[in-house]
Amino acid sequence: MIHVLHGDNELSIEEAVRDLRAAAGPPEVSEANTSVFRGATVVPAQLMAAACVAPFLAERRVVIVEGLLTRLEHPPRERSADLQVWDGLGAALREVPATTDVVFVDASVGGKGLRRNGPGVRAVGPEARVREFSVPRRERLQAWIRDRAAALGAQVRPDAVARLAWLMGGNLRVLDQEIRKLAAYAGDRPITREDVDLLASSAREENVFAAVDAVLERRPGVAARALYSLAEAGAGVSSIINLLARQVRLVLLARSLLEAGVKDGREIGTRIGVTHGFVLDKTLRQARRFNARYLEDIHRRLLEADLASKTGRMDDRLSLEILVARLSGVS
């Protein structure tokens, strides 16, 4: 079976991949029955060779290809030869044995994603099962929070749901972590807004990451919510800009080390002065997703915004709105 998993909801895509990988057998044999390729480096011969191997002590084999269809959807202005080799992909996939699941994983990054009938989806052929995962918005986000809590056997009061949605925006990964923490804390009683404010104090740092993610992906609404949450927690505009600039600077440093061939995440963390596991993981994730020139543009605009905030006379909310507008205008 050919699967295409795409959209901006990385958490749901990750969970869907995990469900498909479960078909590769129990842990002791799943590694032997699973192959993972990066779309930027895999070639057709590698993909087909892995797909045509019979599963070992399991009913199915799983081959995962990350980011290939996005490259086919958004090729360079002059299509390079390394992309032309994929012109026969759909026909080749029809030869994949019924015991193999080929899973194309393409999360939207920086506004670049797959269209339902775009060249990326068409490349795999009409027989593929295509699923789009979108980050829920507004009422759908609050429903997602309630459903997530219910799956954990917890209840959430409406004001707590609204507070979580405001604090975290569409950062589903952080939301999931907070809901699990709140469910364990509340026990048999409903989760309240007071619980959220008590336990989500660490959301300040997480909101910095949410804001940086949203800024880099040009999602001004999500970025604004994260920045307002920081302001509500007592951070001034200049402090918020410094927090964002520090994180973008760390991402730039990590990116330069990755490009220099440093592969070990812990070594990168040591070199840039980041040892906290959560912070390092987020920084490396951002460094791998965005190129250096784009990050440098964001950093420059942050410095310009900092200067403007210190020389202008505006209230904090207007300053934050102008900051989001400046950052979202990066070309």
Residue ranges, comma separated, of all CATH 3.40.50.300 domains in the chain are 2-132
Tell me the chain's radius of gyration from C-alpha atoms. Answer: 22
* Closest of 227, 273, 275 to residue 253, by C-alpha: 273
Any residues with CB less than 8 A from the CB of 193 and at least 6 apart, and which? 157, 159, 160, 162, 163
**Domain 2-132 is of which CATH architecture?**
3-Layer(aba) Sandwich (3.40)
Give the residue, 199 or 43, on which the prediction is more confident.
43
Quick one: pLDDT at residue 241? Answer: 80
142, 161 Cβ separation under 8 angstroms: yes
Quick one: pLDDT at residue 290? Answer: 85
Alpha-carbon distance of 120 to 127, in angstroms, equals 14
Residue ranges, comma separated, of all CATH 1.10.8.60 domains in the chain are 138-203
| Stretch 244-259: mean pLDDT | 89
Alpha-carbon distance of 34 to 117, in angstroms, equals 28
210, 168 Cβ separation under 8 angstroms: yes
Alpha-carbon distance of 239 to 150, in angstroms, equals 37
| Stretch 207-217: mean pLDDT | 74
Quick one: pLDDT at residue 202? Answer: 57
Q: What confidence tier does 61 reach under pLDDT thresholds 50, 70, 90?
A: very high
Q: Which two tokens stand for residue 65?
A: 């290809």
Res 79 pLDDT > 70: no
| Stretch 1-30: mean pLDDT | 90
327, 213 Cβ separation under 8 angstroms: no
Q: How far is CA 291 from CA 18, 210, 261, 263, 288, in A?
A: 28, 18, 15, 17, 8
Q: What confidence tier does 57 reach under pLDDT thresholds 50, 70, 90?
A: confident
Q: Across the strands, what pairs with 102?
A: 2, 63
| Stretch 239-261: mean pLDDT | 87
Residue ranges, comma separated, of all CATH 1.20.272.10 domains in the chain are 206-328
Q: Across the strands, what pairs with 105?
A: 5, 66
Across all residues in the chain, what is the average pLDDT? Answer: 84
For the chain, the distance separating the N- and C-terminal CA atoms, rounded to the nearest angstrom, is 39
Lowest mean pLDDT among 28-37, 90-99, 164-173, 205-214: 205-214
Top mean pLDDT of 8-12, 109-113, 212-216 is at 8-12
pTM above 0.75, yes or no: no
Q: What confidence tier does 169 reach under pLDDT thresholds 50, 70, 90?
A: low
Tell me the CATH number for domain 206-328.
1.20.272.10
Q: Across the strands, what pairs with 112?
A: 109
Res 49 pLDDT > 80: yes
Tell me the CATH number for domain 138-203.
1.10.8.60
324, 220 Cβ separation under 8 angstroms: yes
Res 189 pLDDT > 90: yes
Give pLDDT tens digits for 114-151. 888 898 999 999 999 999 998 887 789 999 999 999 99
| Stretch 149-171: mean pLDDT | 86
Give pLDDT tens digits for 262-285. 988 888 988 988 766 667 888 898
